[in-house]
């Protein structure tokens, strides 16, 4: 389990370095998945933020409304209780931080600890009370759909084609769980290292429909150990998306740079920062 000393060390309000240290302290666990909670923490930060709609400013990470029903019960959020529970001792050690700041910071720390880029992050989110208005279900992407759906979903948040491909590179991390999404398996052979391997695997394998009882997903023809969702395959079949896939497969530095900018923006959507606040 997590080292109790690290997570229980109290801190003074505003000591985000102490919170970062506590988050880093709960990441590794050899009994869980591929040995790290990092990927599921990244997914929590993304799903907390990815409900945003630019047109009316609704949704986003501010409020941390996934603590409550119905949002915590959405099919898209299945499995994220694992991530929220993991962060409870961190919250208990640093009760001054909001859940909304903690969940987004945890995604940022996880990416950094897994070898990814430094993602600009600043505090300023507050927690909404239970009963606060929650956006309707259906704002997170559906893995069964293709390019048009990706543009609809991410366009609603204010992202363009390049952002969509860069953000999708997060699937270099983690895996699908049959008891969470119904899909199964990892996208890469290094699911706890942040890298551009997702784009390389996407390009360099022959992907064939997996023969099984589950929903349509693809497997690499050679080893049958890696997977792609139909929504991942859309990055190959759409010309504009594929242009960025090619670029990021060749140039990890470009991927890290574009990912850091897009992920930081994602985590800040709808957050009412004071006008003069600078990024930490
Ligand atoms: Fe994702 N994702 N994601 N994803 N995602 C899943 C897992 C993880 C889609 C569907 C799924 C992003 C975009 C998309 C991560 C990060 C990000 C799973 C499997 C499904 C299904 C869940 C499970 O069974 O445990 C779809 C569809 C899209 C899309 O249309 C673009 C983005 C933008 C991110 C991000 O972080 C920026 C991560 C990390 C995981 C691995 C979680 C884990 O527990 O491992």
Q: Is 170 in the pocket of ligand 1 (CB under 6 A)?
A: yes
Catalytic residue among 47, 74, 121, 207: 47
CB 151 near ligand 1, within 6 Å: no
Cβ contact 26:2 at 8 Å: yes
What does the pLDDT read at residue 1? 47
> What domains appear along the chain, each with residue ranges and CATH number?
4-139+264-268 (1.10.520.10), 147-262 (1.10.420.10)
Whether the pLDDT of residue 279 is over 70: the answer is no
- Choice among 3-17, 22-36, 137-151 with the minimum mean pLDDT: 3-17
pLDDT confidence of residue 114: 98
171 flagged as catalytic: no
Q: How far apart are CA 158 and CA 152, in angstroms?
A: 10
Tell me what percent of the residues of the chain surpass a pLDDT of 90.
93
177 is a catalytic site residue = no
Q: How far is 58 from 51, CA to CA, in rounded Å?
A: 8
Average pLDDT of the residues in 90-118: 98
Q: For the chain, list the strands marked E by DSSP.
A: 175-176, 185-186, 207-209, 218-220, 227-228
Closest CA to 67 of 111, 109, 98: 98
* Phi (first) and psi of residue 229, to 5 degrees: -85, 160
What is the arithmetic mean of pLDDT over 228-242? 98
Q: Is residue 183 in contact with ligand 1, taking CB distance under 6 Å? A: yes
The finding on whether 141 has its CB within 6 A of some atom of ligand 1 is: yes
- pLDDT, residue 6, reads 54
CA angle 95, 105, 173 (to 5 degrees): 135
The catalytic residue among 46, 103, 121, 187 is 187
CA distance 163 to 169: 10
Per-residue pLDDT, 275: 79
What pLDDT sits at residue 278? 58
**What does the alpha-carbon distance between residue 86 and residue 1 come to, in Å, rounded to a whole number?**
10
Which whole number is the average pLDDT over 101-105? 98
Q: What is the mean pLDDT of the chain?
A: 95
Torsion angle, CA of 20/103/62/57, rounded to 10 degrees?
110
State yes or no: pLDDT of 17 exceeds 60. yes
Nearest CA to ligand 1 atom 38: 43
Handedness of CA 133, 136, 139, 140 (dihedral sign): positive
Q: Given this model, what pLDDT does residue 274 score?
A: 86
State yes or no: ipTM above 0.90.
yes
Mean pLDDT of 220-227: 98
Query: What pLDDT, on a 0 to 100 scale, did the predictor assign at position 9?
Result: 66
* pLDDT one-digit tens code per residue, 165-211: 999 999 999 999 999 999 999 999 999 999 999 999 999 999 999 99
């Amino acid at each position: 389990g997590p080292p109790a000393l690290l997570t229980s060390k109290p801190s003074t309000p505003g000591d985000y370095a102490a919170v970062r240290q506590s988050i880093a302290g709960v990441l590794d666990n050899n009994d869980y998945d591929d040995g790290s909670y990092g990927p599921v923490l990244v997914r929590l930060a993304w799903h907390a933020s990815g409900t945003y709609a630019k047109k009316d400013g609704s949704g986003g990470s501010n409020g941390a409304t996934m603590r409550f029903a119905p949002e915590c019960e959405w099919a898209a959020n299945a499995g994220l209780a694992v991530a929220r529970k993991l962060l409870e001792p961190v919250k208990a050690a640093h009760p001054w931080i909001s859940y909304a700041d903690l969940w987004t910071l945890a995604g940022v720390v996880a990416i950094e600890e897994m070898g990814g880029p430094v993602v600009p992050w600043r505090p300023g989110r507050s927690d909404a009370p239970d009963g606060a208005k929650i956006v309707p279900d259906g704002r997170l992407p559906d893995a069964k759909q293709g390019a048009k759906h990706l543009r609809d979903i991410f366009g609603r948040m204010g992202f363009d084609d390049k952002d969509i491909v860069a953000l999708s590179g997060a699937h270099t991390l983690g895996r699908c769980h049959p008891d969470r999404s119904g899909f199964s398996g990892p996208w890469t052979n290094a699911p706890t290292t942040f890298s551009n391997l997702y784009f390389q695997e996407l390009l360099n394998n022959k992907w064939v429909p997996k023969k099984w009882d589950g929903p349509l997903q693809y497997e690499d023809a050679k080893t049958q150990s890696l997977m792609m969702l139909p929504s991942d395959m859309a990055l190959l079949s759409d010309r504009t998306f594929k242009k960025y896939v090619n670029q990021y497969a060749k140039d990890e530095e470009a991927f890290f740079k574009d990912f850091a900018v897009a992920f930081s923006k994602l985590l800040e959507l709808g957050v009412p920062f004071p006008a003069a606040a600078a990024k930490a």
